[in-house]
Structure 1
Amino acid sequence: MTATAAVRRVLIIEDCVQDALLLGLAFEDHAPDVQVQVVSDGASGVAYCQSLEPPQVVLDLHLPGQTGVEILIQLRRQATAPFQVICWSSHAHPAEIQAVLDQGAVAYLEKPRGIEGFSALVSTLLALQQVQPSADPILS
């Protein structure tokens, strides 16, 4: 089974339209069989994840109105089935990263700075779906 066969749905919770668009386009190019949904706030993300087959979630740590930690706690409380949450940000404090890892995030990833980095990010997200959390869940 390939990595792309395992991940069928990905939810991107991201308020930056450009970052969400670039990640979505990278999925189209490198994993076209993966369904990608984008929402811009935590409440919409929590509602989307209450399905019988929750997606892998890419959660921005800095959203208006709620922190990534608050959203992650809500996602975990209201989950109907197990699923992975990968947090990402372009700038996160080490304590903030540790807080989301302590709340069950599989990993923390830095947002890519260039377009080519989004393709690599898709590969990383698909690979993370195949493994359990590692001893070093902070990836750049």
Structure 2
Amino acid sequence: MTAPAVHRVLIIEDCVEDALLLGLAFEDYAPDVEVQAVSDGASGVASCQSLEPPHIVVLDLHLPGQTGLEILTQLRLHAPAPVRVVCWSSHAHPAEVQAVLQHGAVAYLEKPRELAGYQQLVQTLLTL
């Protein structure tokens, strides 16, 4: 089965650098994809309730004030249509990864440690 086309991506990430690097990688390797970045879960949930919700959400597991699992649960409860959520982190505990996958995340990916890793991340996201 082929993954649905990705035209809109939402990045929920409090680290400005990580969000910027992922956004720039999309500009370079998938310029037709619209990318939006927000820094908190409430803004992310609101974006998913818009008239044109994202096709994929990239959700940081460690945001101030809320866990990735809490935000994932809110997305599942309040988004008008199912959205593919990919969780990412630079240091997730295996129990956290298992919990988000059990609660509907389509994947867990580690944040790249070098610039070339963002290109690979974009390629992976486009196939999920």
TM over 0.5: yes
Specify every segment of 5 or more residues in structure 1 that has no aligned partner in the other structure, as ranges: 129-140
Matched, 1:24 2:23: yes
1:127 aligns to what SS in structure 2? Answer: coil
In structure 2, runs of 5+ residues without a counterpart are: none
Residue matched to 1:105: 105
Matches within 5 A, 1:1-140: 6-55=5-54, 56-128=56-128
CA contact (8 A) 1:54 1:82 kept: no
Contact 1:53 1:81 (8 Å CA) reproduced = no
The sequence identity of aligned pairs, in percent, is 79
Counterpart contact for 1:86–1:108, Cα < 8 Å = yes
User: What is the TM-score when the length of structure 1 is the normalising length?
Assistant: 0.87
**Separation in structure 2 between the aligned mates of residue 22 and residue 114 of structure 1, nearest angstrom:** 10
1:25 alignment partner AA: L
TM-score under structure 2 length normalisation: 0.95
1:6 Cα deviation (Å)?
1.1
Q: CA deviation at 1:23?
A: 0.2
Task: State the Cα RMSD in Å.
Answer: 1.4
After superposition, the C-alpha distances for 1:89-138 in whole angstroms (9 at most, x for unaligned) are 0000010001100110000000000001000000000011xxxxxxxxxx
Following TM superposition, the consecutive aligned residue runs of length 4 or more in structure 1 with deviations greater than 4 angstroms are none
